[in-house]
Amino acid sequence: MKKLFPLLLALALLLSGCGRREETPPDPVQDPPAGTEEPSGVPSVTDESPLELDILRIEICRSGLGSDRLMEAVRTLPELLRSALADQNIITNAVQVTIGSSPAATVQALNEGTVDIAILPAGGFAGQETEAAVLLASGPQSENDHIWREGYGAFRGALYASAASAGGLLDKEGALPAWAELDHLRWGLLGQDSIPGRRAVDLWLADHYEGRTTAELSHAAVYETFDQLLQAAEAGEIDLFPLDDITFEDWQGASRFYFLGELETFYDTVAVVSPKREDLSDPERNLRDPLMFTLTRLCFYDGTQTDPGGLPAYPGKGYDRETRELCQDVFGPYRYGWARDEDLDATRRLMALEGHTAD
């Protein structure tokens, strides 16, 4: 009887609880806010949930590499990539490396699904018709970062005016000077192929001065490096000049010049995923991190670099100089960081301004 009483009491409480739940109506089901994405249920790539693939097909755009270098890449990279990706929890039985003859050919292969991931020039990719997902992009902005940090690679810069020679150029309550005022001053620029030293300036001028570019400036001198631009500005030889962010960060005389305008951000190389492989581009899968760290390790890790705690920056061994140089030739000389398709909009606008096709 002593054992039966607690059981009867528990049953009574349970029944009374069920009665109360019947008397209280359930909360109404609410729709998720507009724009909310339903979770895909795809796990992120981690030690506990590695990404397992039968084969991973990677294409590299030719990008001016010689035939011997390309043959070496096709021969050497599959096993290098397979091993390095495994250390980042991407387990694949085989990696296939192919060479695209042009950005258009590589994008076509992506669209058809015969290639899973492609590495190609940002400018060559930006003008193509494709739904391929941009995962990573590279540029010199990250070249001074510690190897263990997440990269942020880009061409970034700004325009500056000499306080001594530009006078009251900027004393207009934040308004930009008229074109006639800019054209009257002496400009310092880099060569026509330089993105932050010339082409980004063209886009900035076109955006603010009805399509005009540096080709229409009356007084423009060309220099080879940003350091030479700084020396010319400090010597009073030029009034206006662009400067990339890396040089600016190392520069000690910034207070002697005025900021005129920020230039657009551009990239060197992109890593993109075929629209046929939504399993790889799914944001919840987060292929960005393992792919970014794999490329960084292959291109720059010699095994001696450590994190702030003194531990090796990456799992596994480092790579010798020849291997790192080959990988830099193939994947580009700069580190990769997270990117999206809209990050290439400035590149598309610049290409339209210059009348370039994607190839």
pLDDT greater at residue 27 or residue 195: 195
pLDDT band at 200 (very low <50, low <70, confident <90, very high): very high
Give the confidence band of 255 by pLDDT, cuts at 50, 70, 90: low
Mean pLDDT, the chain, rounded, equals: 83
Q: How far apart are CA 275 and CA 239, in angstroms?
A: 48
Average confidence (pLDDT) over 29-48: 62
Mean pLDDT across the stretch 286-315? 90
For the segment 28-43, the average pLDDT, to the nearest whole number, is 54
The tokens of 178 are what?
């008229």
Q: Is the pLDDT of residue 15 over 60?
A: no
Between 340 and 24, the more confident residue is 340
Q: Is the domain defined by 51-154+267-354 classed in CATH 3.40.50.180?
A: no
The whole-number pLDDT of residue 151 equals: 61
Quote the CA–CA distance of 356 and 220 in Å, as a whole number: 24
Do the two domains 51-154+267-354 and 164-262 of this chain adopt the same fold? yes
- Token pair in block for residue 246: 């890396």
* pLDDT reported for residue 253: 62
The pLDDT of 299-320, averaged and rounded, is 89
- Structure-block tokens of residue 276: 């046929």
User: pTM, whole model, 2 decimals?
Assistant: 0.81
Q: How far is the CA of 282 from the CAs of 101, 103, 167, 353, in angstroms?
A: 28, 24, 53, 33
User: Is the distance from CB of 192 to CB of 259 less than 8 angstroms?
Assistant: no
Mean of pLDDT values over 102-123: 95
Using the structure block, give the residue that is written with the tokens 């330089």: 194
DSSP β-ladder status, 90-100 and 51-61: parallel
pLDDT of 330 strictly over 60: yes
Check residue 39 and give its pLDDT: 54
Cα 65-67-71 angle, rounded to 5 deg: 105
Nearest CA to 91 out of 43, 59, 55, 48 is that of 55
CATH 3.40.190 assigned to 164-262? yes
The domain spans of the chain are 51-154+267-354, 164-262
Average pLDDT over residues 46-75: 90
pLDDT over 90, % of the chain = 57
Poorest-confidence range of 92-106, 202-216, 252-266, 279-293? 252-266
Helix axes 345-354, 200-208, angle to 10 degrees: 80
Whole-number Å distance between alpha carbons of 175 and 281: 43
> What is the pLDDT averaged over residues 284-304?
92
Residue 71: pLDDT above 70? Answer: yes
pLDDT tier at 352, thresholds 50, 70, 90:
very high
With a cut of 70, say whether residue 166 has pLDDT above it. Answer: no
> What pLDDT score was predicted for residue 20?
32
Choice among 153-157, 251-255, 291-295 with the minimum mean pLDDT: 251-255
Most confident region among 153-167, 242-256, 318-332 by mean pLDDT = 318-332
